Structure 1
């Protein structure tokens, strides 16, 4: 998997950290306070959108009076403490980051989340020495599945796309990595369990833990 790879680019939520449960709680709490219910298809519909695109979509969907910037500020405030104190790294992440650092493989994060929340995670888990570049989808033209955020991280890492390996947990993110011309490893996550077969169809590799990368027990996905 790591042959000829010079840079690793991680998605954040559900990939580097176990955080997708936070957004279920926040979405329900946010809408309940406004006497609204969370549609069962909402998370699927916003998959891959940037934080800003999600705010625009949500404002229009529910006809909310708040501005897009006000919605982003509310969500950041609701999530910040959980991201700082309650969200753990995914299994094997620390060992994998250490391996990459020791083997001079540069690392970046390409996330649909907000700059405030990704920065809080990096600080809470002391990842500053491992992660060299962070780009959010709000900082590029289009969110996932467009390749923009992955291409920008690769550019800042000074690595050609064909020498980058992406780790992603949802189909829209996997497509973003593939659209960028990069190899993609799908990461198992309880939140996207029902999308497992679609993830396996789109990705090049599949893991349930980063330990599998170091132990060479990851699954190589063969596509016709």
Structure 2
């Protein structure tokens, strides 16, 4: 299969030379606890209504890889440098409730409402550059991702990555996860009329793949992403990598899993295959 198309093509990413601020060589955040500590997850709604399955759409950050802690550290470091919250570092709860899943333009008004927009966006650009440097050292895929990708390829399902992340981040993460040839299409919210939580990025992916929302579902880890998927007419499987299970359910997730090894996920996937074979 040819490499995924990103608008027109997906160019090679150039890693920015970001000055070191913190030693991230052992960045496994002790204070950034995964929501999996509250398992077992009780949501077990079926995905059977999307049969026959045609496609699966994936968010990137927090869905393909456990990147939220890396974003958290980058925001915490840089916000503290500019005196945000009187110089006190943000905590995990603040990050989850106010930052995770949001588009950078929205974050300008959330975090830096008194700054000129151009200055605030420059801050976001610098933060993303710091994130990429950290990610180059620390990024890990969500457990079970490789097996899921093999399953998708074996069945010949169509697939796309749909993200609020900027182009350079999407390129880096997909490259590090070795998924350049897995995705047929990569949709950037910055190239859509509106980002998630609006449905525009997912509608664009459906159009690019030429598939029906009635036979497609989405993997998402954030409230904004789940709302975007639902708004485009698709169910979302919530990935409780970091965000709380109940938050994802309240946002509209059809079911919530802790990773791609979750038995609940495979029960649903196997049921979809059986239904397809009967059609």
Q: Counterpart in 2 of 1:174?
A: 226
Structure 1: where are the runs of 5+ without partners?
219-224
Secondary structure of residue in 2 paired with 1:216: helix
SS of residue in 2 equivalent to 1:203: coil
Separation of aligned partners in 1, 2:222 and 2:161: 15
Q: 2:82 aligns with which of 34, 48, 53?
A: 34
SS at the partner of 2:162? Answer: strand
Instruction: Mark the CA change 1:63 to 1:51 in structure 2 (over 3 Å): closer, same or farther.
Output: closer
SS of 1:192's equivalent in the other structure is coil
1:21 and 2:49 correspond: no
Q: Deviations over 1:19-68 (max 9, x none)?
A: 100121111110121232338645423444323332454342x5268635
Shift, 1:185, TM fit: 0.8
Q: Is 2:257–2:265's contact at 8 Å kept on the other side of the alignment?
A: no
- Report the counterpart of residue 188 of structure 1 in structure 2: 240
Change in Cα spacing, 1:144 to 1:47, as seen in structure 2 (3 Å) is farther
1:90 aligns with 2:139: no
Where 1:186 maps in the other structure, the secondary structure is: strand
> CA separation in 2, counterparts of 1:214 and 1:28?
33
C-alpha contact (below 8 Å) 1:15/1:187 kept by paired residues: yes
1:150 equivalent in alignment to 2:199: no
Change in CA separation of 1:154 and 1:63 when aligned onto 2, cut-off 3 Å: same
CA 57–139 in structure 1, closer or farther in 2 if over 3 Å, else same: farther
Describe the superposition over 1:57-96 as per-residue Cα deviations: whole angstroms up to 9, x where unpaired. Answer: 4342x52686354223302210112223311110111110
- Unpaired stretches in structure 2, ≥5 consecutive residues: 1-46, 270-279
Counterpart CA distance in 1 for 2:177 and 2:196 is 25
- Counterpart selection for 1:141 from 153, 174, 193: 193
Which region of structure 1 is more displaced relative to structure 2, 122-131 or 34-43? 34-43
d(CA) in 2 for partners of 1:42, 1:109:
23
Q: TM-score, normalised to structure 1's length? A: 0.85
**Could you tell me how far apart the structure 1 residues matched to 2:117 and 2:234 are?**
40
1:216 aligns with 267
Measured on the aligned residues, the alpha-carbon RMSD in Å equals 2.5
Q: Deviations over 1:140-168 (max 9, x none)?
A: 12222211111111111111222221011
Q: Equivalents in 2 of 1:6, 1:90: separation in Å?
A: 23
Aligned to 2:248: 199
1: CA distance, partners of 2:131 / 2:116: 20
For the pair shown, which has the larger CA radius of gyration, 1 or 2?
A: 2
TM-score normalised to the size of structure 2? 0.69
2:243 aligned counterpart, secondary structure: helix
Distance in structure 1 (CA, Å) of the matches to 2:116 and 2:210: 41
Contact 2:165 2:188 in 1 (8 A): yes
